[in-house]
Amino acid sequence: MDFCKLGLAVIETEAQAVFELTQRIGEDFEQACHILLGCKGRVVVTGMGKSGHIAGKLAATLSSTGTPSFFMHPGEACHGDLGMITPYDIVIAISHSGFTNEIITLLPLIKRMQVPLISLTGNKESTLARTADVNLDISIRQEACPLGLAPTTSTTVALVMGDALAIALLQVRGFNEEDFALSHPGGALGRRLLLRIDELWHEKDQLPLVLESATISEALIEVTEKKLGMTCVVNSHGFLTGVYTDGDVRRTLTQRFDINTTALAQVMNPNCKTIAKGTLAAEALAIMQQFKITSLVVVDDKNRPLAVIHLHDLLRAGVF
């Protein structure tokens, strides 16, 4: 048995069906988008069986891209859950046949509520397609299943059509990365797009700070006590003039400086990288990666050090 050949046949069948779907993005699709854009409530997505799983995914995609939505099980809707729908909502019903009993039962009630109905069906002559305000054609030539029974190609095409709706709406609404992150605060994406260094930095008593007139030994004490592998160096007016890091310590020791008498100004690194408060944590990480450093000094508009952000802080927060 050639499993690769069998798997390839499935992919080719579904890919062809998705390609044919491109020929059906026209007036009906545009009308559906206008209806959804005008929604003053929520989009209620429903479907039975495998179509129900696609409906659930569509509702989740819409919600996370700026169109408040939820999934309604058509079987449960017949027993009270229809009360979820308000006059301000829109219903999207998915049924490949267009004759799914549980959905057909709901149609008179949806119409009575005067709620706009968008259908995704594989049969434009079906009851669901004829009842809907607009029907999107998701018909296919054949299922990828050789028996022609298991929903495969049909669910793939329904999924793609749903994604096309969601992303078209996203772009028209001007939905951006920050909007997306607000819907995903718990994930890595949310942290990357929302988390700012102000929530992670070391400031006040935690800020390593010495004068440039201090000796190397005094700087070493500050580096050790604050445990950030570096210290900020400032002049007598409090302006940042450089940093002294673990790497600088190693270089200093190889040059045989007297650590008890040599001023830090002679051995510090004056070309340190700084960053402004309010900067995204992901941007701070990008700077550290670019210059191969492990910390950044946060400065005010007069170049006075406010805090230090360390690579470990970003990694602990899940910023990658």
pLDDT per position as a tens digit, 170-198: 988 887 666 666 565 555 556 666 788 99
pLDDT at position 74 is 94
From the list 222, 195, 212, the residue with the least C-alpha distance to 284 is: 195
From the list 204, 213, 203, the residue with the least C-alpha distance to 268 is: 213
Alpha carbon distance 247, 294 (integer Å): 11
Low-confidence stretches of the chain (pLDDT beneath 70)? 176-193
17, 142, 312 from 149: Cα distances, Å: 16, 10, 53
pLDDT at position 240 is 97
Q: Which amino acid is at 157?
A: V
Q: Quick one: residue 27, left, alpha or beta (phi over 0 = left, psi -120 to 50 = alpha)? A: alpha
| 225 Cβ contact list (under 8 Å, min separation 6) | 208
Distance from chain centroid for Cα 154: 28
| 99 Cβ contact list (under 8 Å, min separation 6) | 123, 126, 127, 128
pLDDT per position as a tens digit, 208-261: 999 999 999 999 999 999 999 999 999 999 999 999 999 888 888 888 888 899
Which contacts qualify for 100-104: CB closer than 8 Å, 24 or more apart?
Answer: 100/47, 100/48, 100/49, 100/51, 100/74, 100/128, 102/48, 102/74, 102/75, 102/77, 102/78, 103/46, 103/47, 103/48, 103/74, 103/128, 104/128
Domains of the chain, first to last: 3-175 (3.40.50.10490), 197-316 (3.10.580.10)
pLDDT at position 173 is 86
pLDDT at position 80 is 80
pTM, whole model, 2 decimals? 0.69
pLDDT at position 106 is 94
From the list 258, 245, 13, the residue with the least C-alpha distance to 140 is: 13
From the list 288, 43, 58, the residue with the least C-alpha distance to 160 is: 58
124, 236, 275, 303 from 248: Cα distances, Å: 74, 22, 21, 22
